[in-house]
Amino acid sequence: MFKVFVLLSYHHRSKFKIIVNMNVISRLSQPVPKFFRVIRTIGLVLTAASVTVLTSGMAVPAIVTTIAGYTGLAGAVAAAVSQATVTQEPDANQAPDAQ
């Protein structure tokens, strides 16, 4: 099974924390924080819009095709990274973070 060795995790107090050696499938199936759900949705919309432009039957200028390609790539990366960000609840044995 694939392992993710170092990924950022969204901590419950708006801090990022590093999670080490977590299974990819278990990471992608955990809940995603609200902010990253919004980023994921924006990424998917950008990707869909760029695919629509790229696959349209109309003749479009080369600059529009180039921009659509980069927009699709940026949207896909934003959606993938946002989906891999998880909420981690603090352990009961762990002391709370100092403010």
In the block, which residue shows the tokens 């499938």? Answer: 25
Total number of domains constituting the chain: 1
Domain membership of residue 84 (yes or no) is yes
The verdict on residue 15 lying in a domain is no
For 22-40, the pLDDT digits (tens) are 677 777 778 888 899 999 9
The widest CA-to-CA distance across the chain, in whole angstroms, is 62
* 70 in a structural domain: yes
pLDDT band at 93 (very low <50, low <70, confident <90, very high): low
How far is it, in rounded angstroms, from Cα 14 to Cα 36?
12
Q: Which domain holds residue 32?
A: 26-88
Structure letter (DSSP) for residue 90: P
For residue 7, tell me if it sits in a domain: no
Q: Does residue 59 surpass a pLDDT of 70?
A: yes
